[in-house]
A and B are shown apart, each in its own frame.
Chain A
């Protein structure tokens, strides 16, 4: 679906199903340098369960116009602006990595708009390796390569994916490479600079699900635990043999966790 948010084109995938205003809304927020299609193994599942699915393209990502938003807070405000434009009063928010920060901040800053929160591949802080930032700044392909190298669990790097013919390593890498120049650097910088996650977590009063990859090197489980502890009501789904790209690495297990959540 395409709508105007703050005067600019914004796009969201709906799981290939017509939107029904009477159904509960579920919003997916992607991570740094990615777009809506990173959720392709979840959106149709959830939509055809009878949910109104919006897998967002944040500004300057995927099919959405505009400039990339500089801070996590700006992105959280944009999510609410999208909800306003789409006529969504309240939604369940599912965010991955940078999108988890955005979803967390949205829930903390706009608690009346978030019914439930799911944070996937998240940590109390997301410091970005200076070499990765430097590569992203120069729009080098090294940046997507490093993200995939550190982001995928060891099993996923060899494959055996449940989706026939799907080569996960290049799927993630190519999607990152297709980001517009400057977008990945902007997003990584926003993650690196965001220090308000723990504070935001203490202000979240909705039910929150953490979906964590046991072998996640980018947002390790031990760095996610303080967030889970800070949220009033949280549960955690731990995905075995899984790195940071949970929804692509282990789509079945992630779906099982989300099925109960949505």
Chain B
């Protein structure tokens, strides 16, 4: 039997979306730091504005450097198309606003990045969109929470900061049975560790700021569409299946088929909300993606060593990392994340909030900051920072204890990371 041969992941990470620059022969992706693009003539201008021809008008809508990034991430995910945004949060809002109007409802995992939780809990209700949060480990809860006005099921591959592994195939089945798409934030895992479209997910988003960029230099986000969700058959998405007056009654599903969602997201969302990614940030993130496979290999190799170290320390009450046999989702992680369960782990230090504070202040190599997914090891206390807006009950529901520490294991030498954690743990227990 013949085989279909295509470029593999590491090759795509380096090459997808770019041909050497036709104008100069530049091999690296050029930074097109320009707001606008000259039209050939008035007909050309009109055709670009009317979505008749592909091309660039204004960098809020699209830009050649950013387009390489979009195409590359779409290639790595196995999607039909992508739209890059100013941040991961901009990506999430863009997706929600493309899919639903006021009166819409979302069923979401309760274990989410704090910013996403805040958007769903406080901000979207101001626009008439409400969310029901459910236990990410309870597929039946997702099913039970779906209402007639639900338009999206949402979660993260690995919960934040509880590190729950979401049962993507099962929850995708539940969403699809209700005529709904499943959208996943795969920031923690990247397409190197899991290609979520292979597990039934319809839309994936990333904060590109994290592992994809990987060097803590640039904020960015992206949404990628699998092209597999049948908007027509669902009948719940008039933004995609009914005429849009903003483009002379253009019907996105009718004209663009599998591209309907990304076309609408760009044509409306980037134009009207305007949360575009700067070309320079797109370039920086592309530089990171070039080494994504190498970095992720090192991240997960270090993470398991660090997790096992922490697990054996008397100062540590518990460690949450799905590649540890003690983790409740260990078997699911083996199935969905055979290359490794990322490099974010959480743990609790004996002595609660006070010991946690001492630990944070004692680390030297690890940096105390809000980010994750940097090549450098990072550490934070979610209860007082990323998730500080959550009530005690919400914190409990999200599996976040007051003393929990979230660690983003970098790609330094594992011995050095462990050495730093060891001395900080000892100091955390001193009076």
Using CB atoms and an 8 Å cutoff, list the residues of chain A in contact with chain B. 13, 15-17, 35-37, 40-41, 43-45, 47-48, 62-63, 129, 131-132, 134-135, 142, 145-146, 148-149, 155, 157-167, 169-171, 174-175, 177-178, 251-252, 255
Contacts and interface: CB of A to CB of B under 8 A. Distances in A.
B74 A16 contact: no
Interface in B60-79: 61-63, 66-68, 70-72, 74-75, 78-79
Nearest to B53: A45
Contact of B249 (A13, A16, A164, A252): A16
Contact of B256 (A37, A132, A161, A170): A37
A47 B81 CA distance: 24
16 contacts: A16-B254, A35-B257, A40-B259, A41-B54, A44-B255, A131-B1, A148-B4, A158-B17, A159-B71, A161-B54, A165-B62, A165-B67, A165-B70, A165-B262, A167-B80, A175-B257
B5 A149 contact: yes
B228 A174 contact: yes
A162 B248 CA distance: 23
B257 A160 contact: no
B236 interface: no
Given A40-B255, A171-B227, A251-B53, A160 B68 contact: yes
Interface of B: 1-2, 4-7, 15-19, 46-47, 50-56, 61-63, 66-68, 70-72, 74-75, 78-84, 226-228, 230, 232, 247-251, 254-259, 262, 266
B54 A163 contact: yes
Nearest to B265: A165
Contacts of B232: 63
Contacts of B249: 16
Contact of B52 (A45, A142, A178): A45
Nearest to B83: A165
Main secondary structure of the interface of A (DSSP, over half): helix
Contacts of B72: 159
B255 A158 contact: no
Contact of B84 (A146, A161, A165, A167): A165
A159 B12 CA distance: 10
Contacts of A165: 62, 67, 70-71, 74, 81-84, 262, 266
Given A131-B1, A165-B262, A170 B6 contact: no
Contact of B71 (A15, A41, A166): A166
B4 A13 contact: no
Contacts of B248: 16-17
B270 to A, nearest CB: 10
A149 B52 contact: no
Contacts of B75: 159, 167, 169-170
B328 to A, nearest CB: 33
Nearest to A144: B4
Q: Which of A63, A174, A175 has the most CB of B within 10 A?
A: A174
Contacts of B230: 178
A37 B266 contact: no
Contacts of B74: 165-167, 170
A157 B6 CA distance: 7
Nearest to B54: A163
A251 B71 CA distance: 17
A178 B72 CA distance: 23
Contacts of B67: 164-165
B306 to A, nearest CB: 35
B71 A131 contact: no
Nearest to B82: A165
B53 A255 contact: yes
B228 A177 contact: yes
B284 to A, nearest CB: 18
Given A158-B7, A252-B53, A178 B228 contact: yes
B54 A15 contact: no
Nearest to A17: B248
A148 B81 CA distance: 16
Nearest to B228: A174
